[in-house]
């Protein structure tokens, strides 16, 4: 099995403008993905996102926005070590592409960067499975949250 790229596509019953806001603005992002989010939603905007752990603590991941083209594209790198600039060898790249279609928006999400990290095959496979599980949990939450925002 290839562990280099995760791809998902979903249709959301809202305009690309609304969907873009929900996938880029940390106020909205924390309602459907991480428990905490603090970053500027513009190219170069750096910060962190946090996921609540089983013991109640928050596990933090660094994030840096790569592109922000309203209504069309939002991308970021994440999981790079604190204090390092995000790049192909030390982070994952997530891209949300938005396309207006049939009274709504098609959102295409890709995540890459697993192989570029220099990990051994077992680590690549484990990280890949973890991220697949995460996206399969979080992305289906988007349509319902977007519907709330759009109402």
CATH code of the domain covering residue 113: 3.30.530.20
Residue 69 dihedral angles phi and psi, to the nearest 5°: -115, 100
**Residue ranges making up the domain that contains 142:** 5-33+67-150
CA-to-CA dists, residue 43 to 12, 16, 64, 67, 120, angstroms: 25, 19, 8, 5, 31
CA atoms within 13 A on the CB side of 124: 16
Is residue 114 a contact partner of residue 92, using CB atoms and an 8 Å limit?
yes
Q: What is the pLDDT of residue 101?
A: 92
| 59 within a domain of the structure (yes/no) | no
Query: What does the pLDDT average to over 32-58?
Result: 95
Q: What is the mean pLDDT of the chain?
A: 95
| 116 within a domain of the structure (yes/no) | yes
95-139 pLDDT, tens digit each: 999 999 988 999 999 999 999 999 999 999 999 999 999 999 999
The bridge status of strand 73-78 relative to strand 92-101 is: antiparallel
d(CA 26, CA 58) in angstroms, rounded, equals 16
Q: What is the pLDDT of residue 1?
A: 61
| 48 within a domain of the structure (yes/no) | no
For the entire predicted model, the pTM comes to: 0.95
| 91 within a domain of the structure (yes/no) | yes
Q: How many structural domains is the chain composed of?
A: 1
Given a cut of 90, is residue 2 above it in pLDDT? Answer: no
| 55 within a domain of the structure (yes/no) | no
């Amino acid at each position: 099995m290839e562990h280099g790229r995760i791809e998902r596509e979903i249709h959301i019953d809202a305009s690309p403008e609304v969907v873009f806001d929900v996938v880029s603005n940390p106020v909205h992002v924390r309602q459907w993905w991480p428990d905490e989010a603090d970053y500027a939603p513009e190219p170069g905007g750096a910060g962190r996102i946090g996921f609540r752990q089983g013991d109640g603590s928050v596990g933090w991941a660094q994030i840096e926005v790569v592109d922000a083209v309203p209504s069309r594209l939002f991308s970021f790198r994440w999981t790079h070590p604190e204090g390092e600039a995000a790049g192909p060898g030390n982070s994952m790249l997530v891209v949300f592409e938005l396309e207006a279609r049939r009274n709504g928006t098609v959102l295409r999400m890709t995540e890459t960067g697993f192989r570029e990290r220099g990990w051994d095959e077992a680590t690549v496979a484990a990280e890949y499975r973890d991220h697949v599980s995460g996206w399969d949990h979080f992305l289906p939450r988007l349509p319902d949250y977007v519907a709330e925002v759009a109402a």
